[in-house]
Amino acid sequence: MIPQIRAEIIKVRSTRTTLGLVLGMIAIILLFVILTAWLTSVGEMSGREQQRNLFAIGSFAGLFAALAGIMLVTGEYRFGTIRPTYLFTPKRSLVLVAKVVAALIAGFVFALVGEILSVGVGGVILDERGISVALSHHDYTLITIGTLIGTALWGGIGVGLGMIVRNQVGAIIGILAWGFVIQNLLFNLVPSVGRWTPDQAQNGLMGLTDAHLLDPGVGGATLVFWTVVICAAGAVMAARRDVN
Amino acid sequence: MPPVVRAESLTKRFGNLTAVDDLSFVLQSGTITGFLGPNGAGKTTTLRMLLGLARPTQGNALIFERPYAEIEQPALRIGAVLEATDFHPGRSGRNHLRTLSAAAGIPDSRVDEVLKTVELDGAANRRVKGYSLGMRQRLGLAGALLGDPELLVLDEPANGLDPEGVRWLRDFLRSFAGSGHTVLVSSHVLAEVAQTVDHVLIISRGKLVRESRLDELTAGMGGAVRVRSPEAGKLREALERDGIASTEASGALYAQGTTSERVGEIAAASGIVLHELRVEQSSLEEVFLELTSEKPE
């Protein structure tokens, strides 16, 4: 098991894909943090609700972790390296587990960067505007845990999704459409269903306060559940399907 | 000694298409076997089943008497290259090999060794996107050699190689097999492997049409052994006494329906000097084409 994980970590680190994702993530998180912290009125920004939302922007890392997970699998199919990968490790479930572990680690690192940006840069801007932080220690803890664990799990979800879809472009378009459109629509139109999506489960885990969100514990469990289900489906499909 | 590779009634269907049809063969240790057939005959599908990448519809594909997926640390016993292009273009050749060696617990020092073997040590830290096709072929081969395998399986390794590359590959495979290792190499061009292999498996439309030693391929198929001798007349009579017909053309004799061994033995028994003795290439090619041509049903 450990050799396979090492191999997957070398894969993550030996192309520029990961670096590109991290740079893209930094740019987007910085943009949202700066816009939110500067442009929201002092009155609104002084409230806990809005400060929570600001510091949770780091969880945007989840999308990039999911993309990294997707590429770790679909890149192998796109460039054919899946053949040597399976020749060296014919137990395909072992390859999948190793990829999930590598993606969890990558996701965790992504989340650290995102968290430092949102809390650090967001905090500096609030300070600059003379707004005092209204969040409690508990609020901070939930946002941090939710960002770190949630983002890591998104890496795993990306791996499972990549195994199911295999086509790189299809999987990327799918996760973008889901994250930006479908799950948002679902949550806004039918919140009783939409809150169970992995996206809103993570928002629940971070302690965000929309009335419809799940409690942090239930949200975390729901996100873990989705990760396990999607990866298990990916493992079943990987075992059954021929490699061309 | 048990065979290295064993295909038992191997069959693969894709919907209505039968890509591999009840194929059975064995490969013995220490042989170089050419796996031949036209494009689309089912060679790659057969190799994919042997290597555990595709599941047979029926039958068994065994290496060292086991399905590939059940072999412990397969990379330490079997090296295989299915496509010459299986690399991430943005990864260096050396890092590509490291992703494989790490999975098999092979030390990095072995990565540098195989890079030297395939003469890529100078380009090892460059990204694969800058490699020529010949370099990619050699990098693929380096990956197959990482585990110092006993069996090498190569799918169309000469595709896209220049003559120098083909020659390099031929020399490499000979020295590999010379140390008692086994090679299975597929090709759709017999001439490409005729100087390398000692056995041939010929398939056409998923079925095995011929399994033989290369030098016996022409026997009984109207093939010819080309032989030159300063005593051509005497040799011709000696062959005739043994029931072997021959014709004379452009300064050489063409003995029909025999093997180069037999002609050599007859010449030696009669004390006849030979200047040349070989199975005529064109007739090998003719046999191949005859065996694999599409016959109306």
ipTM computed for the complex = 0.91
Q: How far does the CA of residue A169 sit from the closest CA of chain B (Å)?
A: 16
Residue B152: strand pairing partners: B79, B183
pLDDT of residue B219: 59
Q: A85 to chain B: which residues are within 8 Å by CB?
A: 99-100, 103
Q: How far does the CA of residue A181 sit from the closest CA of chain B (Å)?
A: 32
- Looking at residue A111, its amino acid is A
Q: Does B108 touch chain A (CB under 8 A)?
A: no
Q: Which residue of B has its CA nearest to A85?
A: B100
What is the rounded average pLDDT of the residues A227-243? 96
Nearest by CB to B68, which of A84, A90, A244? A90
A–B CB contacts, 8 A cutoff, strictly below:
84
- Give me the count of residues in chain A: 244
Contact A79 B52 (CB under 8 A): no
Contact A87 B69 (CB under 8 A): no
**Most A CBs within 10 Å, among B46, B87, B91, B98, to test the A interface:** B91
What is the rounded average pLDDT of the residues A156-174? 97
Contact between B267 and B275 under an 8 Å Cβ cutoff? The reply is no
Nearest by CB to B54, which of A4, A79, A243? A243
Contact B89 A79 (CB under 8 A): yes
Nearest by CB to B88, which of A7, A79, A86? A79
Q: Taking Cα atoms as reference points, which of B171, B151, B148, B152 lies closest to residue B161? A: B171
The residues in B 139-178 lying below 8 A from A, measured between CB atoms, are: 143
Nearest by CB to A89, which of B87, B90, B103? B103
Contact A81 B92 (CB under 8 A): no
What is the rounded average pLDDT of the residues A130-147? 94
Tokens of B111: 């990565």
What pLDDT, in 10s, does the model give residues B123-177? Answer: 999 999 999 988 999 999 999 999 999 999 999 998 878 888 888 899 999 889 8
Q: How far does the CA of residue B126 sit from the closest CA of chain A (Å)?
A: 12
The label of the residue with tokens 């910085």 reads A30
pLDDT of residue A211: 83
The label of the residue with tokens 């993530």 reads A25
Separation of alpha carbons B155 and B81, rounded Å: 6
Contact between B118 and B142 under an 8 Å Cβ cutoff? The reply is yes
Contact between B89 and B128 under an 8 Å Cβ cutoff? The reply is yes
Q: A6 to chain B: which residues are within 8 Å by CB?
A: 102-103
**Which residues of A sit within 8 Å Cβ distance of B?**
3-4, 6-7, 10-11, 14-17, 75, 79-81, 83-91, 242-244
> In the Cβ-directed half-sphere of B63, how many Cα atoms lie within 13 Å?
29
Q: Does B91 touch chain A (CB under 8 A)?
A: yes
Q: Which residue of A has its CA nearest to B51?
A: A87
Q: Which residue of A has its CA nearest to B83?
A: A80
Q: Does B87 touch chain A (CB under 8 A)?
A: yes
What pLDDT, in 10s, does the model give residues A29-62? Answer: 999 999 999 999 999 999 998 999 999 999 999 9
Q: Which residue of B has its CA nearest to A240?
A: B55
DSSP state letters, chain B:
---SEEEEEEEEEETTEEEEEEEEEEE-TT-EEEEE--TTSSHHHHHHHHTTSS--SEEEEEETTB-GGGSSSGGGTEEEES-TT-S-TTSBHHHHHHHHHHHTT--HHHHHHHHHHTT-GGGTTSBGGG--HHHHHHHHHHHHHTT--SEEEEESTTTT--HHHHHHHHHHHHHHHHTT-EEEEEES-HHHHHTT-SEEEEEETTEEEEEEEGGGTTTTTT-EEEEE-TTHHHHHHHHHHTT--EEEETTEEEEES--HHHHHHHHHHTT---SEEEE-HHHHHHHHHHHHS----
Q: How far does CA A46 lie from the centroid of its chain?
A: 28
What is the rounded average pLDDT of the residues A209-216? 88
Q: Does B53 touch chain A (CB under 8 A)?
A: yes
pLDDT of residue B254: 85
Q: Which residue of A has its CA nearest to B50?
A: A87
Q: How far does the CA of residue A187 sit from the closest CA of chain B (Å)?
A: 39
The label of the residue with tokens 């031929």 reads B170
The label of the residue with tokens 């599941």 reads B55
Phi, psi dihedral angles at B280 (to 5 degrees):
-70, 120
pLDDT of residue B281: 59
Residue B67: strand pairing partners: none
Separation of alpha carbons B91 and B76, rounded Å: 24
**Most A CBs within 10 Å, among B82, B88, B156, to test the A interface:** B88
Nearest by CB to B99, which of A10, A80, A91? A10
pLDDT of residue B5: 97
Q: B45 to chain A: which residues are within 8 Å by CB?
A: none
Q: Kindly indicate the confidence band of residue A144, based on its pLDDT and cuts at 50, 70 and 90.
A: very high
Contact A242 B54 (CB under 8 A): yes
pLDDT of residue B282: 57
CA-CA-CA-CA torsion for B253, B259, B261, B266, nearest 10 degrees? -50
The residues, ordered by sequence, that sit 6+ positions from A109 with a Cβ below 8 Å of its Cβ are none
Contact A14 B100 (CB under 8 A): no
Q: How far does the CA of residue A170 sit from the closest CA of chain B (Å)?
A: 19
User: Strand, helix or coil at A106?
Assistant: helix
Separation of alpha carbons B248 and B276, rounded Å: 14
pLDDT of residue B296: 45
The pLDDT averaged over each successive group of 10 residues in chain B (297 residues) is 94 94 95 92 96 96 96 96 92 97 96 96 96 92 96 91 87 88 92 87 93 76 79 90 84 84 91 88 71 62
What percentage of chain B carries pLDDT values higher than 70?
96
Contact A14 B98 (CB under 8 A): yes
Averaged pLDDT of chain A = 95
Per the model's pLDDT, the better-predicted residue between A107 and B190 turns out to be: A107
Angle at B266 between CA B260 and CA B267, to 5 degrees: 90
Q: B92 to chain A: which residues are within 8 Å by CB?
A: 14
DSSP state letters, A166-193:
--HHHHHHHHHHIIIIIHHHHHHH-HHH
DSSP state letters, A32-68:
HHHHHHHHS-HHHHTSHHHHHHHHGGGGGHHHHHHHH
Contact B90 A15 (CB under 8 A): yes
